[in-house]
Amino acid sequence: MITKPFENTKIILFKTPDEQKLMKDAIKKVESEFGKEYPLIIDGKEIFNSEKIKSTNPSKPSEIVGLVSKASKSQAAEAIEKAYKNFSWWSKESQAKRSAILLRAAEIMRQRKMELSATMVVEIGKNWVEADADTAEAIDFMEYYAREGLRYSQETPLMRINGEDNHQVYIPLGVGIVIPPWNFPLAITTGMTTAALVTGNTVVLKPASDTPVIAYKLVEILKEAGLPDGVLNFVPGSGGEVGDTLVDHPLTRFVSFTGSMEVGKRIYERASKVNPGQKWLKRVVAEMGGKDYIIVDENADLESAANGIVQGAYGFQGQKCSACSRAIIDEKVYDKMVELINERVQKIKVGDTREFPVPDVHYYNMGPVSSASSKAKIMSYMEIGKKEGRLVTGGKEIDLNGGYFIEPTVFADIKPLSKMEQEEIFGPVLSIIKSESFEKSIEIANDTIYGLTGSVYTNDRKKIKKATEELLTGNLYINRGCTGALVGVHPFGGFNLSGTDSKAGGPDYLLLFLQAKVYSEKV
């Protein structure tokens, strides 16, 4: 069925007029659908409720991208019950058919790539390149997991003994709750959902409330690709109401979550309770926050390091769990690095992401942050930063069409163990920390409760070896930025309170949605 090896989808940089026209036309198409109503879906049935989630454009919040029906507690429970019923036959479907559905969905997504990316430009404020990269990653997840599903469907070789015939196979778990984030609203939503589906589980998807429209389009694509009714159920709603109902239900077999540490810990705790009628321990796959760093050694390529820091700190307004929020710099090159970083930050353009001024480095376009509450939280850290360090640039809101815009901000002279060095801000804010040695830099990098991504810039092979051995980071990069993991190339997931180190997009990921069954026959 699959005749060629997996390859990552090429990301469009929109350098040519033809590429730019395609995106402009796609944005106009998406704008023409502003205000459209979208249903929840249970067992293949579309349901329009009176209560709606209003998805707005963070660049201009008066614009309503879509009105998505909000599920009730009883509907959330019904979705699980229907998914449980449908698991009995979907779990027995051939792996070839399940993988084929993912491959067809990937092809449909390629055909709709500009429209999907344009949806993210207006629904969550991604710039064009970042939105295209999000869609490309979603395609990659489906292509990769389709192949991985086939691999896991093969019997596992076991040791042979005389007188017995022994076999190990992998079987699906059951009903999975998928709770994705708003910051990669197509890529991560697609990866989490299709990994569970391709392994034979049924899914109840509760999309992020800031990005339900793009999540609905994924459901639409999977249905078009041939996914049977009832295998994937779509129930938007609040975390405290619908989310808790889904996590607590005794028929829920596993929860796949990506989001903040606070919500992840809450889900982990609730899922650990065995409720009446429940006959298993729920599995939790959790990817949470980060306080990610880039270490710059005294003998590093400083220009390259500055590029990596700025791209990592301000790509998608710093709203990535992998974003560089700490630059840990050797004191011998500290002042020079602060200067190089500031020069680059001054060139960042901030505005409505529907407009695309083509800069020298494409990720230096910044749009709005996700919401009014996110903006308020980030601005509260500006005041903390002014007390704990030296404001180099930024620190203010930008008044533009009522959007949630914030200046790209740099604080220098931040001390280890301060709030700015320890707490995840999730916005366009960089804290620069001076370090007296490479050993001290490693100590600072490891001093948070997180352990997601990090990067080291050095030309010293001994220091590279030391970094790879001592940095407690799920994804560590050498002489490159700390963001931009590729499916199949950089399996992604972190340590400590960054989550369960799921390694999404890697060869171990699908195993999280399967259980091993061994059967032995005396011969």
If we measure between CA atoms, which residue out of 325, 330, 264, 272 comes closest to residue 302? 330
Q: What is the mean pLDDT of the chain?
A: 96
- Three-state secondary-structure class, residue 141: helix
Asked if pLDDT for residue 232 goes beyond 60, the answer is yes
% of the chain beyond a pLDDT of 90: 95
DSSP line for 408-444: -EEEESPPTTSHHHHS---SSEEEEEEESSHHHHHHH
How many structural domains are present in the chain? 2
Angle at 103 between CA 475 and CA 111, to 5 degrees: 95
Domain that holds residue 323: 292-486
Across 52-74, average pLDDT: 98
Q: What is the mean pLDDT of residues 469-477?
A: 98
Q: Is the pLDDT of residue 102 over 70?
A: yes
Q: Does residue 397 fall inside a structural domain?
A: yes
In 5-137, DSSP assigns E strands to 36-38, 40-42, 45-47, 52-57, 60-69
CATH number at residue 361: 3.40.309.10
Query: What DSSP assignment string belongs to 191-231?
Result: HHHHHHHHTT-EEEE---TT-HHHHHHHHHHHHHTTPPTTS
Q: Per-residue pLDDT averaged across 226-238, rounded?
A: 97
How is residue 277 written in tokens? 């009628």
Verify whether residue 287 is a known catalytic residue: yes
Strand order in the sheet with 60-69: 36-38, 60-69, 52-57
Where residue 39 falls among pLDDT bands split at 50, 70, 90? very high
Residue 249 above 70 pLDDT? Answer: yes
* Cα(425)–Cα(262) distance, integer angstroms: 13
Nearest CA-CA partner of 79 in 167, 165, 205, 195: 205
Give the pairing of strands 405-406 and 397-398: antiparallel
Indicate if 327 and 271 belong to the same structural domain: no
What are 479-513's pLDDT values in tens digits?
999 999 999 999 999 999 999 999 999 999 999 99
Residue 8 included in any domain: no
Residues 510 and 398 in one domain: no
Q: Do 303 and 283 share a structural domain?
A: no
Q: What is the pLDDT of residues 405-445, one digit of tens each?
A: 999 999 999 999 999 999 999 999 999 999 999 999 999 99
Give the model's confidence band at 240: pLDDT under 50 very low, under 70 low, under 90 confident, else very high.
confident
364 vs 457 pLDDT, higher one: 457
- Considering the domain architecture, whether residues 148 and 246 belong to the same structural domain is answered as yes
Tell me what pLDDT residue 107 has: 98
Task: Look at residue 384 and tell me whether its pLDDT is greater than 90.
Answer: yes
Do 480 and 506 share a domain, yes or no? no
Nearest one of 166, 172, 426, 472 to 291, comparing CA atoms? 426
* Mean pLDDT computed over 36-47: 98
Residues 262 and 399 in one domain: no
Q: Answer whether residue 363 shows pLDDT above 60.
A: no
Q: What is the CATH number of the domain that holds 272?
A: 3.40.605.10
Rounded distance between C-alpha atoms, residue 247 and residue 239, angstroms:
10
HEC profile of 240-281: HHHHHHHHHCCCEEEEEEECCHHHHHHHHHHHCCCCCCCCCC
Question: 266 with 316, same domain?
Answer: no
Specify the pLDDT at position 357.
59
| Band of residue 3 on the pLDDT scale cut at 50, 70, 90 | confident
Residue 358: the pLDDT is: 57
Q: Do 269 and 350 belong to one domain?
A: no
Let me know if residue 17 belongs to a domain.
no
**Does 180 fall in a domain?**
yes
| Run of H or E residues at 324 | strand 324-330
Q: Is residue 7 part of a domain?
A: no
For residue 31, name the pLDDT band (cuts at 50, 70, 90). very high
For residue 35, pLDDT over 60 is answered with yes
| Residue 100 domain-assigned (yes or no) | yes
Output the pLDDT for position 359: 52
308-330 pLDDT tens trace = 999 999 999 999 999 999 999 99
Is 90 a member of any domain?
yes
Question: Which H or E run contains 330?
Answer: strand 324-330
Judge whether 219 and 205 are in contact, CB under 8 Å: yes
Judge if 235 and 267 occupy the same domain.
yes
Mean pLDDT value of segment 146-154: 97
Nearest to 324 by CA among 415, 225, 445, 234: 445
Residues 482 and 508 in one domain: no
Q: Categorize the per-residue pLDDT at 370 as very low, low, confident or very high, splitting at 50, 70 and 90.
A: very high
Out of 186-190, 255-259, 354-358, 455-459, least confident range? 354-358
Nearest-angstrom CA–CA distance, 368 and 59: 6
Give me the count of residues in the chain: 523
Give the tens place of pLDDT for each residue, 203-216.
999 999 999 999 99
445 with 517, same domain: the answer is no
User: Considering 287, 298, 407, 424, which one is annotated as catalytic?
Assistant: 287
Split at pLDDT 50, 70, 90, the class of 362 is very low
In-domain check, residue 390? yes
Q: Is the pLDDT of residue 361 over 90?
A: no
Residue 190 pLDDT: 98
Mark 485-503 as b/e (b = at least 16 C-beta within 10 Å).
Answer: bbbbebbbbbebbbbbbbb
Residue 258 pLDDT: 98
274 and 406 in a single domain? The answer is no
Catalytic residue among 78, 115, 143, 321: 321
Q: Say if residues 514 and 152 touch (Cβ distance below 8 Å).
A: yes
Residue ranges in 280-437 assigned as alpha helix (H) = 302-314, 334-345, 372-388, 419-422
Q: Answer whether residue 364 shows pLDDT above 80.
A: no
Active site residue 423: no
The H-or-E segment that residue 129 falls in is helix 128-152
Residue 352: name the closest of 124, 182, 100, 145 by CA: 124
